[in-house]
Structure formats: C-alpha cells, structure tokens
Structure 1
Amino acid sequence: MAGDRTVSAQFVMVALDVPLNRLFGYQVGEFDPQVGQRVIVPFGPRQLSSIVIERRNDAGDFSGKTRAILAVRDDLPALSASTIALCQFVADYYHHPLGAVLSTALPTVFRNVPAFKAPAPACVYYAADIEKLLAHISKRAHAQQRVAQQLATPHTPAALRRIHDSGLKWAKAWAEQGLVQTAAETSVVSPASPILPLNAEQAYAVEQLSSARSFLPFLLYGITGSGKTEVYLQTIAAVLARGEQVLILIPEINLTPQLEGRFRARFPGVAMACLHSGLNDTERAVNWLAAMSGEARIVLGTRLAVFTPLPQLGMIVVDEEHDPSFKQQEGLRYSARDVAVYRARTAQVPIILGSATPSIETWANAKAKRYQIITLAERAVPGATLPKITLLPVKKAGLIDGFNRMALAAMHAALERGEQVLVFINRRGYSPVLQCGECGWMASCKHCSARLVLHLRDRRLRCHHCGFEEPITHACPDCGNQDLKPVGQGTQRLEEALATHFPNRKILRIDRDSTRRKGEMDAALAQVHSGEADILIGTQMLAKGHDFDRLNLVIALNADTGLFSVDFRAEERLFALLMQVAGRAGRRETPGEVMIQTAFADHPFYHQLLGRDYAPFADRTLSERQDMLLPPAMAWALFRAEAPDIEHAIGILNIIRACFEQLDATLRKDLTLNQPVAATMVKKAGVERAQLLIAARHKAQLQRALHQAMPHIEVIKTGKGRWSLDVDPIEV
C-alpha cells in the first residue's frame, strides 16, 4: 500500500519510461521511499524520474547489480494504490510498459528530474470604485478605458491579456496606485446560474442517474438539443451534495471553454479543475494536484484526464462517447472511454456515456443489457423541433462555386430573416488538389502517399499528414504547363466564393488553420454568440456541442466521401457527423433546416438519415458487423510496422505472425491470423507501412494469446524498422 512504513526495505522496484516492459531494482540507500512516490534514479549515464511500485527486503535477481536511488521528490504526493492499479490494467490490456503508461498519466513536470515548484495561487483584479478608476484614465486612452471598464467585475490575468496585450500590465500599475484591488481567485464567488426546468424525459433521467450509488453504466441516448448537459449538471449537483468528486470527459479541446463556462456558472462556489492540451505544463500540474488532493470537486478534461487521481470519486461522465478523439493514436494507444468504464467498475461508481449517435460498440452493450439506456427523444427547449433535412443533387444541377442554386437561395432567405448560416465542409485549406490540366499531374507529398493541399493565402502547398510544405508550384514539373488549377474545395476557397455572393455579410471561417493560436477559438465563438458573424464556414470543429441561438440553416458539402470508404466504420462516423452538424440548426423555437449536397440521394444511408432516427441505422449496422464478423462481434489487435521499404515492414510482421503460430494449440485455435498487407496509406512521413490483423471471437481469448506471444515479440530485432500494437483499433 502507498505510504506503508511498517516494514523496512532495502530495495525498491521502480517503473521507468523506457521501451522495456519490466520494472527496475534499486537500493534505497539513505532514503525510505514509499510505494507510489516519485524518485530520481540513475539509468546508464542518465538520470530519470520514476515511480516506486514495490518495496523489497532482498535484491533477488538484482543482487550485485543494483545502483542506489539519487533522490526522493516530495513535489508529487505518493500515488494511491488505485491509481497504480489503473495504470497497471492499461499496461496489461494494451501491452505497453508500465513506466510509459505512468509517464503518460502524469503531468509533464513530474516526468522531469528537477522538482516542480508550484506558483503562487491565482488572483483576480477588480475595481471597488470603478468610477474613480475611469476618472483617473485619460479619455483619449481608449484601450485603457476599455480594460478599466471590464474591471467592474473580477478578471484573471489571462482574461485581462485577452482583452488587450497590455491589460495585465495596466491592472498591476493601477493596483500599485490603490485604484484596483486583488483577491484570490477561489475567494470570488458569483451568483449561480439558474437551474433550468426539465421536461418529463430529463426529469426521469436525473432521477435515475442521481440515485445510482454503485457501478452502473448508463447510455444517455439523447437527440441533439435534448438537454443532455442540463441532465449532467443536475445529476452532478446531487453527487456533489454527497461530498463526492465528479470526472467529466469530453472529446475535443475546443468544447472545453464552453462547457467550463456552464459548469462554473452553475457551481460558482465549487473548486473545478480543467485538464487538456491547451494548458501549459504548470497549469496542468496545478490542476492535477488540486484534483489529487480532493480540493477540486469537478474535473473536466479530454482523454488524458481519465488517469487523474480522485480520492472521493463519485461519478464519471463521458460526453459524446462515440467520438474517435477518445482513442489515442500514437504511443500508448488507449481508449479513454473504455478505460473510464473500467475505472468506474473498479471504483464502484456509476458512469454516464452520453451521445445522440452512440458508437456501435456501446450500442451492442446496451442491446445486450450490459448498459442501461435512458432516452431523451425530444428537444429541451419547449416548441423546438428537429430540423428539416433536404438532399440537394450535385449532378446536372449547374453548381455555382460548388453550391446548388437552392442552397444559395436558402442562404439569402435566412440572412434576410436575420438568422445565421453554417456552411460545413470537413476539408480545410483552399483546395485539396493542385492539378495540371494538360498532362494530369497533381502536387503530391514527397514523404507520404498523399496529395498536397493548396493554402492560397499563405502561398503554400501543405501535407495534412506529415506537415511537409513547399511554395506553390507555378509550372507543371512534368510538361511545363503554367495553367495549374485547384481542384475541389476547402474552407478557404468557400470563404472566397461566399464573399462574392454575400459581399455585405460578415463571414467567419473556423478551422484548425484559423484557430491555431491560443485564445483564437474562444474569440471566434464569442463573435458567433454576439451576432457579429452572419455566415460560418467550418469543419467538424463546429459540429459538436455548440449552441448558437440564431443558427437555423446548415449547408453540408462533400458528405459523400464517407459512403465508399475502405474503412468499415466510415458510414457510422458519417452518420454521427451529419447528425451532429444537423443538430446545430433550430435549437430554439424557430424551425431549422439542413441541406446536404449529394450525388447519391438514393443511397440507403441517406434514407435512414432523413428519418433522423439513429436506432434503425445502429441496429442495421450492428447486424451487418455480426454477419461479417467485424467488431464488436470480433476482438481485434492490429500490429503496424514501418520501415524504409515495404518489404522490410512486411518482413517484421511475418516474424510477429510466426510468434502466434507457435502458441499452444488451445490458444491458436481461437485466433484468426491474417497475412501482413500494405497499409491504406503506404507511405507516410518518409517511411513505408504495413499491418497485420489478429482476431478472436472474444477479448479474453485475444488477450491470452497476446500475453503469451508478446514476450517473444518484444525481443525481435527489427533493424531500421519498428513495430507497434493497437488493441481494439478504430483506424485500420
């Protein structure tokens, strides 16, 4: 147990972040480190941070070889037995070294050798006498006047910087003059936002969820706009009233500010910690420690937050549980949703999986009665209805700048009514292809089996897979033709086209390129909510979770790309994406409309989408997966290999495959061993890639085989190549 000092120990076993799946033994020397503590140890010529996993009285196999630990760090309280056990489960299930799992789970500052020194508590600035402050500032200092006016209410340093780059500097100067006061951020409590009335479905959901006291997995299956967030809020209020902590996982960082605002407004006196990649290392460490100490009662974060220690955990919420962002695709390839379910079970607390379009895996668990379904089938706002969905043909329709004439007419009408319009296309950049009209040459990435995307404003061609970029080519390298043309549309090209059709309207593009810097996404969303933007152009960043009062028309372009993909999950993801996009329209009393441009209006997929009922689609898809022995009817493990050439990569996978062929006959008969094949994108970032799929009817069978084979696989010599393992892959 962590912190157990009843037995002295001369040796400790520690977990190190190195590519070796084992623990390492060290002498305690002059120290008395406890299980879960952070210690600094020598490793070859380096010094590394590590976590003590076990205390021992004998050296065992390490006799005569052990070195002594160098230091014990007290900047990180000892990890609890439950936290170490969670990381051990992840290490075992995903077959990843425990030290690497712990390194992933911990904030970056605790992976470093130097001790972390927490900064002074955050403070806020405010003016007790706002009129006196304004009178002190020159009327001609418009920027200072604007910042000063905001100090009528408390503002954090970060908020002041967002108002103006010099906002914090001015506030500090005014504080020195006695015109502005400071206070600890946690001491400032604003009035709580009102609790919204619930309809009958929401009230039933809150009653069921609030009364759960032990492990119960719930699927909160609610259409877009059905008020799932209000159900979360009122359920969480009941959990907090019991003196327990709540963990809320969300898929995308751009949803964090909006949800954080709603939670802080509802629970102004409750300490809350946010954990996501938008924080710097110090901010994340401070928030993580607040959760670990029990100070933070609500923890809101993206997938890494699933590892956060919470001593009084009472409930876990996974919002938009179907979202593929919950699966890490590099390094430790874990599913935060699945880890959250395991954590809830071991902690014996309820877990809520919320979605309008549940993943087929979650749907299968609900159908098998392993999860309890709670349905929200109507919109929360009285009088609000689901938007009308219309399919617009793109063949023989005489498109104008990529738009059907009916789409442009609908946009004109909506704007005249004072409404906002969203044009959705899941493709950033100006054009996906730059092509020669004479010989057919297309600009391609030198390092990937992919086309370069044209970014016209930056005068660059970029690869969205490896990041390679180069100046725009002005002549075809094959035939010398200088008439190179962009083919297809991206968000930037749409922005240019719509500016010609709606010259007097404010057009706002929101994609990864336009919101790259910190604070840009918040500023863009503020423009939308304030009514400064008339037409929104966006990728899937705008499809999830946002609630825009005046948005009543959505135009979806290029939706057909998911219909004929080699990925068997493509239709499931497309249905979820289009339902999410459609859910942005008409969330108040005014009926919304969604127009989807398609070349395949007769496709069965669109017939089910028009019905706006996900259940028939999910039932059909699950049945197809069972008939074709695809997940969740089968358990998969995918070995990937990359090397300078495809033959080398396939050779590595053939050696791995042979390790499974040599398993015990009882294990071997449960497996399906496929042949290694080239990856869908063979070349990426300068290396060539192949993959090997191992399948079994049950996860337990697959895990038994992996545990027996992995010790042999881990010692394979790969030369200039390397391999990785993805258990339960979502990208094949």
Structure 2
Amino acid sequence: MNCDHPTVLTLALPTPLFRHFEYLAPADYTPAQNDALIPGIRVEVPFGRQTLVGILISKSHTASYPIEKLKPAYQALDAKPVIHGDILALCQFAAEYYQHPLGEVMMAALPQKLRASDGALPQTAYWQLTTEGKGLNSENFKRSPKQQTAWEVLLHSAPLAETALTAKQVDKSALKQLQKKNLAETFLADAQALPASQQVLNETPRTLNNEQQHALDTIRFHKFGCYLLEGITGSGKTEVYLQAIARVLQAGQQALVLVPEIGLTPQTVARFEERFAVPITQLHSNVAKGARLENWHSAFSGQARIVIGTRLAVFAPLPELGIIIVDEEHDLSFKQQEGLRYSARDLAIVRAKKNNIPLLLGSATPSLESLHNALQQRYHHLRLTQRAANAATPALQLLDMRKQPQHAGIAQASMDAISATLERGEQALVFINRRGFAPSLICQSCGWSAACKYCDARMTLHNSPRKLHCHHCGAMAYPPSQCPSCMNPALSALGQGTERAEETLQAAFNQHTVIRVDQDSMQRKNAMAELTQQLLEGQPCLLVGTQMLAKGHHFPNVTLVVIVDTDQGLLSGDFRGIERMGQQVIQVAGRAGRAEKPGTVIIQSYRPDHPLLTQLITEGYHNFAKSILGERASCRMPPYNHMALLRAESKRADNAKALLTKAAQIARQLQPPSPECSYLGPIPAFMERRNDRFRYQLQLQFSHRQTRTQLLQQLVEALNKEALSKRVRWSIDVDPQDMG
C-alpha cells in the first residue's frame, strides 16, 4: 500500500447510528487488490470489540478524520458487488424516507447468510450431456419417456441450471438416471443469466373479457406507469397479471410479484408454474436460510425470470426487471411494523420509477391512498366490474343481531343457512377474526377477569390445549380453578373465538367436517396448501377461521359466507378502522360463489343501520371508499396530509413521556405549528402498557412530504444527542398504518 496516498473506504455498517464509517484498506492488500475494491461489496471490519460486516459505499484517498486514527479493514468478502444499481438506490431512498440507518437497511436487503463473515455467494449446479449422451437419439429412450424428455431438453439447451430444468418440467430422478448411465453430468459454476428462452408458456392463456383486455392494452411496458387494477373478487385480476408478465418475459426481462401472506405464496407459485416454462423462485421468511440464499442468488444472477415473495422481496436483486406486481396492495402485511418500518408497496413504486418500468397494484378493495391517487389521475385507474367465467356476484344480506337467538355468537338464521348449504353438498365459511375459545375469562360473582401481568389487556382462553394466552406479548398461564379474588369456583368464558365457534358448529353439524383455520391450527408446514387441496375435492364441509381465509384463496365449492362480528371496525379507535372493516367484509365475501354456483354472504351486525355499513352493502366498496375519502378530506387526515408517529416505550412511563415532550419542544422550535404542520402529544398508545413497557406516541402531520422529511432528519439528529434517548426505546414510523 502506498502510504502517501492510502486508500480510504467509506462503509455503511449495521448499527443504529445515522452515519457512515471510514476505514483504511486491509493492511496486506496490494495496489491491484485495492483497485478491485468497488462499491457494493461486503467488507469485514473491526468495530470496538466486535467484528462487523458492512457494505462499501465509496473509496478515496482523503478522509474526514486524521488518517492515523483510522483502522484497517480486515478483508473484502466479495469479488463483485452484492448490492448495486437500483437496489443501492432503493436502500438509500428507504434510509432517508423512513429515517433509518443505511447500514441496517442494506443488511435487511440481503439474505441472512450474507450478513455474516462466513457467508458467500453460492455456486450453481448445471447439467449437460456427456459426449456419449450427445451421440444417442430418441429411439434409445422409448421405454423411459421422462428420461427422453430430460435428454431432449439437455440436447437443445444445455448447459442448464437445475432451476431452469425444473421450469421445463424435467424430472430430477430422470436426470439422476442419465447421470448413472454416464449420459449426463453436473458441474458447479458461478451463476449467470440464461439466454432468453423462446418457450415462455406451458399453456395457452385464457381468453380475456373486454374489461381485462382493456386493462392489459392500457399498460405501457417500456416506461414507468403506476396502474391501479381495481377488480371485484373473482374478476380475473390474476389472468391480467399472467398475461402482462408473459409480455415482459418474451422481451427477455424478469418479473417481481409481491403477495401479502406466506400462505398465498404456494398457491400463487403453483398457478404461475402451470402457465410459465421459465425458472420461478420464492423469497419469504418460510424459505429455509440456505434455500433463501440460493433463491436470492438465482434472482441476482438473472436465472430466475419470475420472483414471487412477501414484502422482503421488494429488495430482490433483478438485473433485468421489467414489471412489478403488488397483489392485494391494500393489505397491512406490506408494512413492516418494527425495525425498518417500510411499506413494500410504496418502495415498489419507487423502484419501478427508478427502473422506468410499469407497476401494477391489484385489489378488490384498494387502500384509500391508492384510490385517491387514481382518482387524482396520478395512477392509471383500471376497473374490472364483472366476475370472470360468468360467475355471479354473491348476494350480500345484512342480519340484525338484535332480533336473533344465538349460538356462541352465530345467529339462528345463519345456522339455518349453513344447514341448507351442507345439505346441498356445498361448503360454507364462518368468519370470526378472533383466535382462541373466548376473549375473556371472568367471574360473574365479583367481576374479576384474567388480565395479562405485562399488558393492559385480557388474556384469551384457549381450549386445545387449555391455557390463557396474551396475544399481545405472548405470555401464557394455566386457567385458575376458582376465582383468585372471591374463590368462586364457577368462572365464565365470555365472548367468541374460533375454537368456541368450531365446538358449537361441530356439535350442531356432527355429520360434516368442521375445519378451523387460524394461526394456531395452521402452524404446520404446508398446512394451508393441504387445506386448499382438500377443499378443491369439493366434499361438503364447514370452515371456521380468521383473516387467513380472507385473502385471495379460490374455493369453488364455497357458496355461503357468514361474517360473525362486523362491528369491531365500526367501533375502532384507529381512524383507519372503518376502511379496514369494509376491506375485510368485501374480501371475505369474495370467497363465496366463485364458480358456477351462486354465493350468499350473511353479515351479522348489531348496528345494521350504520350509514357506511349500509352503503358498503348496497353500493359496493368503491362508493363506500369515496365516502370515507370525503370524511378524511374534511379533517385533513391521510391521504390528504403526511403523517409520522414518534413512538417511545420504557419500563418507566415518565421516561417515555419525557423523551416525547422533549421531542415535541424540539419539533416546535424547528417548525412552529401552523395549518401546514401540526403536533399531537405525547399521548398514550391505545394499549398503554404492553410487554411490561409503557408506550407513548407523538403524532406529527404535514401538508408536504419534503417538509416532513427535513424536520424528521433534524429531529433525529437532535434526539440522538439527548441522554434520555439512550434509556428509552424509541422509533419513527413514517406513513403509519397501525396507530396502536
């Protein structure tokens, strides 16, 4: 190393500090090795008593600090960048917009194995024919059609990666047989993008109706555009996605598809594999760490032509990205609720714009933010108002619970409808968005209730196994045999949960199968995929479950849906409560009558005359959402302003309040309150104590995004200098979706 002109590396490290860090190049590196250090590679460095892996941002021959105070890095871990191009730009945008340290953002964008010093980019297994294999002809495989298929694919396309062979429906066991016969061989090599395949499709696309065709024709594939595909449930949004992706693949590009839930991913992947003859990979938290690294590398190298994943997949490296699709764009799952609190939907918009490609946002119940942008013509608004394949829209019936005898919260009229549905050999779905047997265990003698020791919440009673469980902090306890306060042995389970509904329905319809679908019953791997297969067999049965059943599933023999507790959203303290209630009702209702059999939806409510609930049922979600937008406009709430929440929590309530009081003082000095800028708080969170910590929040609202970004940057810098900020856990939530 030339001591006169040392090489200075500027790194982003995974620390909570809002700054970059400077190091010298490794002491034993030659000038040629220093030249090979390029932005985007991982570098191992000393950090206090730790060893950290950071991302090289830049290098130069000057430093912000005296050269003699800089430590040398240990080593570079990569020969080529693992974060570069649009992903580097996306990370930098996310760090600035969501007020989060860049190093932590970059590490969040990488698979977990690449965040450690011993993690390395994998090599890919490729297959090709041996010289002997190339000398054969199809006559040699008459008795083994699977081996013949594998041989023909390798003869015309080899060498091919295993992902590409899987996409071409080549059987792995057939490859192994060819290898045993010395007709095929495998070797490891650095992955490289595959040449564009002439064969993109496995099956002929379906014929689009006029609305679907108009939506597809509107998309401009070689320029940025944000398209809101608002289609009623069952209207064929997926077919529009598939045909839009086909055009991108035929142009030699890649596609990124984001879905809200892991449970939807296998169903989506299966549908895409039926249609496309290209490598498809998955990125979500249920993929094992090793497989996730391989899948990430498949996207990174360009092998995978379609990537399907949950919110973390928005950071998937795709060098030839041609389109991004966000399915069920309204779903709260797209917003990360801890750490880097990003919205995958919003980052997808930023990424599409930076790549100058189209973005398709699909939903039957668009978020008010997306609908507002479409109505303001910032987005192209594409509407599908007819169900595909001539399926009828389900009939919605509002049931007044004030006049109904009940069975564990299920009205007698609903029970009668379920009975008639099962007798016709069809399937029914009962939706109740509460896990467990009952939300409360109480003593009717003295009023005691089983409360969580660590939260301002009651513990939920579960029956299988029998326990009390706090769904907020995870605390568990055995149910007492008598009241701890008055020793009354008769304790009562109050309210309804999925377990109680299952018990009630199984007792009433003991000739039929009752299947509970919630977080407790679906923990086993592939449980949701097995359930879907069971339902597709068409035998009459009864589903009872939570919102896991509401999202995108296609159950053709479900003809009745009963929504047990519609009123929760009407009573919510969150200003988004009514919007979420409407989305949930329409999404759950959309599970009914998706095939040739007509569907019916019974909506149980103690407030059947509520004007917004009535409008939702009589006029549909679109007009319902426009009414809520009118209310939001009148009180200047999102999307008509730009909000941020500063959250603070501590085991001492005074510390959390004091930090936010100081933050409010700083904010008012930086940006005095005005019609364009307002502050509310500190105020307690909806649940003030959770997991033995007291939680408070400061709400900030701005007319302009840029004003918000500038103030938050200054506020974070000032708070980091406060001694109290080291003793209080605090965070900033930009564009919060959960006000709790």
* Shared fold (TM-score, shorter chain, > 0.5): yes
Which residues of 2 match residues 321-360 of structure 1 at below 5 A?
321-360=329-368
Which residues of 2 match residues 253-292 of structure 1 at below 5 A?
253-267=262-276, 269-292=277-300
Distance 1:430 1:9 in 2: 67
Distance 2:235 2:454 in 1: 45
Distance 1:118 1:38 in 2: 15
Number of the residue aligned with 2:426: 419
Does residue 15 in structure 1 map to residue 19 in structure 2?
no
Distance 1:658 1:496 in 2: 55
Distance 1:243 1:176 in 2: 30
Asked if structure 1 preserves the Cα contact closer than 8 Å seen for 2:279 and 2:303, the reply is yes
Q: Deviations over 1:270-289 (max 9, x none)?
A: 11121111111111111111
Distance 2:552 2:271 in 1: 12
Distance 1:85 1:426 in 2: 39
Distance 2:65 2:376 in 1: 48
Shift of 1:606: 2.0
Does residue 196 in structure 1 map to residue 206 in structure 2?
yes
Does residue 542 in structure 1 map to residue 554 in structure 2?
no
Which residues of 2 match residues 223-302 of structure 1 at below 5 A?
223-267=232-276, 269-302=277-310
Distance 1:182 1:121 in 2: 13
Shift of 1:389: 0.7
Q: Deviations over 1:210-258 (max 9, x none)?
A: x432111111011100000000001110111111111111111111000
Which residues of 2 match residues 77-88 of structure 1 at below 5 A?
77-88=81-92
Amino acid at match of 2:251: R
Number of the residue aligned with 1:41: 45
Asked if structure 2 preserves the Cα contact closer than 8 Å seen for 1:75 and 1:116, the reply is no
**CA distance 1:477–1:632, change in 2 (3 Å):** same
Distance 1:45 1:112 in 2: 16
Asked if structure 2 preserves the Cα contact closer than 8 Å seen for 1:639 and 1:724, the reply is yes
Query: Which one is further off, 235-244 or 394-403?
Result: 394-403
Structure 1 moving runs of 4+ over 4 Å: 119-123, 127-132, 174-179, 181-187
Which residues of 2 match residues 399-438 of structure 1 at below 5 A?
399-438=406-445
Query: Which one is further off, 290-299 or 71-80?
Result: 71-80
**CA distance 1:175–1:237, change in 2 (3 Å):** closer
**CA distance 1:381–1:650, change in 2 (3 Å):** same
Does residue 70 in structure 1 map to residue 78 in structure 2?
no
Asked if structure 2 preserves the Cα contact closer than 8 Å seen for 1:381 and 1:587, the reply is no
Counterpart secondary structure, 1:428: coil
Shift of 1:131: 13
Distance 2:680 2:406 in 1: 45
Name which of 436, 449, 454 aligns with 1:442.
Answer: 449
Distance 1:76 1:443 in 2: 57
Number of the residue aligned with 1:27: 24
Shift of 1:63: 2.1
Shift of 1:60: 2.9
Name which of 81, 102, 111 aligns with 2:106.
Answer: 102
Shift of 1:368: 1.1
Amino acid at match of 2:205: I
Which residues of 2 match residues 289-688 of structure 1 at below 5 A?
289-382=297-390, 384-531=391-538, 534-663=541-670, 670-688=676-694
Amino acid at match of 1:44: G
Distance 1:493 1:183 in 2: 57
Shift of 1:354: 0.7
Q: Which runs of 5+ in 2 are unaligned?
A: 128-140, 147-161, 167-171, 188-193
Counterpart secondary structure, 1:563: helix
Asked if structure 1 preserves the Cα contact closer than 8 Å seen for 2:404 and 2:413, the reply is no
Counterpart secondary structure, 1:59: coil
Amino acid at match of 2:49: P
Number of the residue aligned with 2:696: 690
Counterpart secondary structure, 1:630: coil
Shift of 1:117: 6.1
**CA distance 1:309–1:190, change in 2 (3 Å):** closer
Shift of 1:45: 1.2
Distance 2:76 2:347 in 1: 30
**CA distance 1:669–1:220, change in 2 (3 Å):** closer
Name which of 198, 221, 224 aligns with 2:230.
Answer: 221
Distance 2:534 2:56 in 1: 50
**CA distance 1:548–1:75, change in 2 (3 Å):** farther
Q: Deviations over 1:332-363 (max 9, x none)?
A: 00111111111111111111111111111111
Shift of 1:122: 10
Does residue 206 in structure 1 map to residue 203 in structure 2?
no
Number of the residue aligned with 2:712: 706
Asked if structure 2 preserves the Cα contact closer than 8 Å seen for 1:219 and 1:366, the reply is yes
**CA distance 1:519–1:724, change in 2 (3 Å):** same
Distance 2:45 2:657 in 1: 38
Distance 1:95 1:604 in 2: 40
Shift of 1:531: 3.0
Distance 2:628 2:311 in 1: 26
Distance 1:538 1:365 in 2: 34
Shift of 1:709: 2.5
Distance 2:519 2:729 in 1: 31
Distance 2:345 2:58 in 1: 29
Q: Deviations over 1:423-444 (max 9, x none)?
A: 1111111111111111111111
Counterpart secondary structure, 1:61: coil
Distance 1:351 1:176 in 2: 43
Amino acid at match of 1:244: Q
Name which of 110, 114, 121 aligns with 2:118.
Answer: 114
Q: Deviations over 1:99-153 (max 9, x none)?
A: 0101111110111121336376499xxx997999xxxxxxxxxxxxxxxxxxxxx
Q: TM-score scaled by structure 1?
A: 0.89
Asked if structure 1 preserves the Cα contact closer than 8 Å seen for 2:426 and 2:540, the reply is no
Asked if structure 2 preserves the Cα contact closer than 8 Å seen for 1:453 and 1:461, the reply is yes
Asked if structure 2 preserves the Cα contact closer than 8 Å seen for 1:462 and 1:469, the reply is yes
Shift of 1:62: 4.6
Amino acid at match of 2:260: P
Amino acid at match of 1:447: Y
Among the aligned pairs, what percent are the same residue? 42
Counterpart secondary structure, 2:586: helix
Q: Deviations over 1:359-384 (max 9, x none)?
A: 111111111110110110100112x1
Asked if structure 2 preserves the Cα contact closer than 8 Å seen for 1:506 and 1:532, the reply is no
**CA distance 1:315–1:441, change in 2 (3 Å):** same
**CA distance 1:442–1:283, change in 2 (3 Å):** same
**CA distance 1:612–1:582, change in 2 (3 Å):** farther
**CA distance 1:175–1:689, change in 2 (3 Å):** same
Asked if structure 2 preserves the Cα contact closer than 8 Å seen for 1:9 and 1:55, the reply is no
Number of the residue aligned with 1:146: none
Distance 1:458 1:194 in 2: 49
Q: How many residues align structurally?
A: 681
Query: Which one is further off, 66-75 or 625-634?
Result: 66-75
Amino acid at match of 1:511: D
Distance 1:62 1:362 in 2: 50
